[in-house]
Amino acid sequence: MNSHYLALSSLITLFFFLTLLPPSYCDAVEYFAECSIPFNCGIIKNIPYPFWGGNRPANCGMQGFELTCRDNEDLIISFEELEFRVLTINQSHYIMTIARLDLWNSPCPPKLVDTTLDFFNFDYHPTDQNLTLFYGCPSGVSGLDGANYFPCSSGGVGAADNTYNYFVTDSFPMMDELFKECQRNIRVPVLETALINESLGLQKVLNQGFDVDYHNSWAISCLGCGVSGGICGSNNYKFACFCRDGEQPLVCSNKRVIRWWKYVVGLVALGLGVLLTCITICCLRSKRSTTSTPFFMKKTKNEHDLEAFVRNYGPLSLNRYKFSDVKKFTNSFKVKLGQGGYGGVYKGELLNGRLVAAKVLNASKGNGDEFINEVASISRTSHVNIVTLLGFCLEGKKRALIYEFMPNGSLEKFIHSDNMETTTMPLGLEKLFQIAIGIARGLEYLHRGCNTRILHFDIKPHNILLDENFSPKIADFGLAKLSPRNESNISMAVARGTIGYIAPEVFNRNFGVVSHKSDVYSYGMMILEMVGGRKNIDVGISNTSEIYFPHWIYKRLELHNDLGFPINMTVEETAMVRKMIVVGLWCIQTNPSDRPSMSKVIEMLEGNIEALQIPPKPFLSSPPRSPVEESSTY
């Protein structure tokens, strides 16, 4: 009787388990199957998450990333009333190349509208440049030849008799004045590389499209989901990880849905496993007195954490090297480029001949935070003014970061008078000014160009590297901190940065909250140092980033606008220096809210000098630096 009752209760339990299973579970399993099917269209294969469309339902992607495959050949994405042909999708750098469909066969569309994007999900890439197409101009435009003219077929605004159509870039002088009598115009982004090739012609330039960055705040979550065996998707427009056993918020538990008749086999296997485990434990205990695990084979918790970080969140586009490889391509660390607080930087050469800089981190300092900061932050970036991380090494306590090689080293050695003797050529004021703008563009990208805002917290001349053309690249993200774009305030347990460049609120919260404006302060101190550290401007102070220089320079501006410039400086050079000084003083305002954003800094540097107002006098600067400062970058 008892056995029959037990069998009956088991069947009832199984019935309820199968019939009352939550619908979301069934849906998630269904989505797992549907989203596992590759999305192909024409020459573009395996279109990844967050895109969806075709045979992939909306839950396989995210809102705003819907694609349409027309005639099994053309991949289309729509933004408002415009349709774009998708030419390529770069999964590793989150870049999509698109071209306006209405301009695909002719530069004269039936309806003239400016290019628009879904800026919630997409941004223009730095490789883009705006092209303005003018239609129905009354006569020839002075300064333009036939190369800038394009005809329109019958119909449309630009096809009227006795009118002309032209295209120019935004940098064309007096554009608004020359084309003010044209009937209509539209703006179209194009690739800057396509404009350089004059033989292409307008239509081919338009058909090469332009690059857009698509936001990747979901990248780390999707990577963890994929590693755990799940499929990335969404539920109510939020990220979801679809697994074989249902939906999970981030990663799969790696459990498998199995049929009820396999439980018996599982129980038998479990019993055998317990038996074998007991036997193994007994054997190990019997040998413990004679055998022990060498201490150097055991991994610390910190090393396990680093491995887990790389395994779950490490970018797939980075190369992982063995420490023996690092030692080999640096020729046993023969050429040392510099020494920082976390280790040395050495010159190396990969097998393909590419020169690199290997930053070997000192295992005795820190607990791996610098390694995690660098990999997590810099691997999210792709900008001409940000140094490129090519790979990394992680073998227990041996850690290294592999960067692109910057032949001209750091900016620091070019701006101080006592370093001029060691440089091959001093930097002119115009080049120094362009470097200041390049650094500002890099910081603007970190603060606004990524979906996740990156705060550097260690902007200084040591951490600005110069390539073969003396173009600047921001380096050393060991103290960086990530935050969502919609959050302006940052919480920090301790101050971080280099004395002399740290904003007041970083070391004393009474001055305000820590935010991206803290980087603006460091930038301001640095460009003041760039101006004051040169031989041809004698400020009478050896260390210009300390509290004295801002007050000295402000007093000279207040009194007679006499900055002590040499008489042989041109008007243009004088304007550049004045811009850098005024902008620098704005950036080091004590109250963070009084400092400009990096976008405003670029506008001020590139604008008219007469439009700049002298800022209020900063009454506090960073604490003075110690005589010897450790650099964390070569």
pLDDT digits (tens, 9 = 90+) for 165-201: 888 887 776 676 777 778 888 989 999 888 877 677 8
Contact 531, 427 (CB under 8 A): no
pLDDT at 391: 86
Q: Check residue 444 and give its pLDDT.
A: 92
Quick check: 597 pLDDT over 90? yes
Residue 630, both tokens: 């450790």
Token code pair at residue 248 = 């999970």
The fold for domain 409-634 equals Transferase(Phosphotransferase); domain 1 (1.10.510)
Q: Give the whole-angstrom CA distance, residue 632 versus residue 634.
A: 7
**pLDDT score for 30:** 83
Q: Is the pLDDT of residue 357 over 90?
A: yes
Distance of alpha carbon 15 from alpha carbon 466, whole angstroms: 70
Lowest mean pLDDT among 9-18, 367-376, 558-567: 9-18
Between helix 517-532 and helix 548-559 the angle, nearest 10°, is 70
Provide the pLDDT for residue 165.
86
Residue 408: φ, ψ to 5°: -95, 10
The pLDDT value given to residue 280: 63
Query: Which of 454, 266, 309, 317 is closest to 377 using CA atoms?
Result: 454
Write down the pLDDT at residue 621. 46
Interatomic CA distance for residues 551 and 544, integer angstroms: 10
The pLDDT of residue 549 is: 62
**Percent of the chain predicted with pLDDT > 70:** 68
Q: H helices then E strands: how many in the chain? A: 17, 22
State whether residue 284 is helix, strand or coil: helix
Catalogue the active-site residues: 458
The bridge status of strand 128-137 relative to strand 184-191 is: antiparallel
Half-sphere exposure of residue 376: CA atoms within 13 angstroms, side-chain side: 26
| Mean pLDDT confidence for 584-589 | 92
Write the Ramachandran bin of 556: left for phi over 0, alpha for psi from -120 to 50, otherwise beta. Answer: alpha
Residue 147 has pLDDT above 90, yes or no: no
Helices 598-606 + 517-532 axis angle, to 10: 30
Q: What is the pLDDT of residues 206-240, one digit of tens each?
A: 999 999 988 777 877 887 888 888 999 998 878 89
Strand, coil or helix: what is 53? strand
Fold of 302-405: Phosphorylase Kinase; domain 1 (3.30.200)
Say if residue 50 is preceded by a cis peptide, omega within 30 of 0.
yes
Q: Are 231 and 242 in contact (CB under 8 A)?
A: yes
3-state secondary structure of 8: helix
> Distance between CA atoms of 133 and 150, rounded to whole angstroms?
9
Bridge partners of 232, per DSSP, are 241
> What is the overall mean pLDDT for the chain?
76
Q: Is 603 strand, coil or helix?
A: helix
Answer yes or no: is pLDDT of 584 > 50: yes
Three-state secondary structure call for residue 594:
helix
Crossing angle for the helix pair 517-532 and 571-587, nearest 10 degrees?
Answer: 140
The pLDDT of residue 23 is above 50: no
Q: Distance (Å, rounded) from C-alpha 149 to C-alpha 67?
A: 34
Predicted confidence at residue 416, as pLDDT, reads 66
Sign of CA dihedral 282, 285, 286, 292: positive
SS3 sequence, 219-260? HHHHHHHHHCCCEEEEECCEEEEEECCEEECCCCCCCCCCCH
Selection from 523, 503, 524 nearest residue 584 by Cα: 524
The pLDDT, as a whole number, for residue 471 is 93
Lowest mean pLDDT among 42-56, 226-240, 249-263, 457-471: 249-263
Answer whether residue 334 shows pLDDT above 60. yes
Spatial CB neighbours of 51, under 8 Å, sequence gap ≥ 6? 39, 61, 65, 66, 67, 89
Domain boundaries, the chain: 63-214, 302-405, 409-634
Residues sharing a CB contact under 8 Å with residue 135, sequence separation 6 or more, in sequence order: 108, 112, 152, 156, 157, 158, 163, 165, 182, 183, 184, 185
Tell me which of 339 and 351 has the higher pLDDT: 351
Which residues does residue 484 pair with via DSSP β-bridges, in sequence order?
A: 452
Give the residues across from 75 on adjacent strands: 69
- At residue 270, φ and ψ (nearest 5 deg) are -65, -45
334 is in an annotated binding site: no
Distant-in-sequence, close-in-space partners of 457: CB < 8 Å, separation ≥ 6? 479, 480, 481, 496, 497, 506, 518, 519, 522
Task: Answer for the pair 109, 82: CB distance below 8 angstroms, yes or no.
Answer: no
Q: How far apart are CA 439 and CA 602, in angstroms?
A: 10
SS3 338: strand
